[in-house]
Structure 1
Amino acid sequence: MNVLDTLLARNEAFATTGFSADLKIVPSLKTMIIGCVDTRVDPADILGVKAGEAVVIRNVGGRIEPATLHNIAILSAVTTASGGKMGQGWNLIVLHHTDCGIKPCLGHAPELLATYFDVPVADLDKLAINDPYASVAVDVAALKANPNLSGDFMVSGLVYDVKTGRVETVVPPALLRPTESTGC
């Protein structure tokens, strides 16, 4: 049996025992988690997220970079088209982890990282790539500085330890930005 056959057999088991056609496109927990593609760090597994509860965006390093912001904008449009509204009552969670594979790229492929983040190579140090505790704070700050995101999101930053399986809150939940009353 090859890998595809194995995966198709698993899908058949899922379709007969775990599938639900009743799931909604808007997640029931009104939560978006941004995490790393590292196979050790599946947010659904480590946070116990069930199907239909959260949107999970995974990229290299779990970082806030231009494509992530585009994904959030598209997901916001999808939510609006589905009769919802992203922002108030929604959680935006940035999840970084220890021993991330992005760290060696800093020394071996800085130009590639600079392109990924859309910054000059000289600015890579500002992104705290070597320290997940600092980098999650950098990314939460980047979200807070983005005027295109609803200030009504509750945003937080977590770090997962790949040696212990534990998650630590580094940036406690807070509004993305204080909302201004428009009088309307």
Structure 2
Amino acid sequence: MVVSDFDDLLAANREFANDFNLSGFDGVAHAGIAIVTCMDSRIDPLRMLGLKPGDAKIFRNPGGRVTEAALEALVLGVHLLKVERILVVPHTRCAMASASETEIQERVGASAGQDASWHAFHVIENQEVALKTDVHKVQAHPLIPDTIKVGGFIYDVDTGLLNQLV
């Protein structure tokens, strides 16, 4: 048997599997929802919207930005997985919006013990402007039809509330 640095998580997974009831899901978004949000662990994308497993497609990345990979996921969601509404959801107190590119590179470099100035982290200078830009990217994509509803929201990590800005 392999001894693993992940034994605690594997044990938790076995507990999870004991009463696993999600077998047989078809993989579509049953509530017709797709969410692009940050990787921040304070965000519980399904619960914050009153959804459950199987209801939504979720794409997470630093800052909750609509990247090329996010657009790829959204196009697939719209055309193959029954997505009808898309929420773009960055959040308050985001590390990607609270420091400059240089500051993040220096912090990562200090942690890594090597220069990180060559790596782009794509910090967000103005969340509201970035959110409007990202919503427009989704709306303007040639493979996302006008019938798809797209909204831009800020999630408040201190209250749990969403504020629609776009």
Which bin holds the TM-score, normalised by the shorter protein? 0.7 to 0.9
> CA–CA distance in 2 between the matches of 1:95 and 1:20?
26
Given that residues 105 and 113 in structure 1 are in contact (C-alpha distance below 8 angstroms), is that contact kept between their aligned partners in structure 2?
no
Which residue of 5, 8, 16 corresponds with 1:6? 8
Instruction: Tell me whether 1:112 sits opposite 2:94 in the alignment.
Output: no
Rate the CA distance shift 1:113–1:19 in 2: closer, same or farther, 3 A: same
* Structure-2 residue corresponding to 1:100: 94
Aligned partner letter, 1:56:
I
> CA–CA distance in 1 between the matches of 2:5 and 2:42?
19
* Structure-2 residue corresponding to 1:181: none
User: Which SS does the other structure have where 1:23 is aligned?
Assistant: coil
1:66-95 deviation line (CA, Å, top 9, x unaligned): 12112223445643xxxxx55xxx111101
* TM-score, normalised relative to structure 2: 0.76
User: Which SS does the other structure have where 1:137 is aligned?
Assistant: helix
Q: CA RMSD in A?
A: 2.6
* TM-score, normalised relative to structure 1: 0.69
Deviation of 1:30 (Å): 0.9
Which residue of 56, 64, 67 corresponds with 1:65? 67
User: Which SS does the other structure have where 1:147 is aligned?
Assistant: coil
Structure 2 unaligned residues grouped into runs of 5+ = 106-116
> What number of residue pairs does the alignment pair up?
150
> CA–CA distance in 1 between the matches of 2:76 and 2:48?
26
- 1:28-43 maps to which residues of 2 (within 5 A)? 28-43=30-45
Deviation of 1:50 (Å): 0.9
Given that residues 143 and 149 in structure 1 are in contact (C-alpha distance below 8 angstroms), is that contact kept between their aligned partners in structure 2?
yes
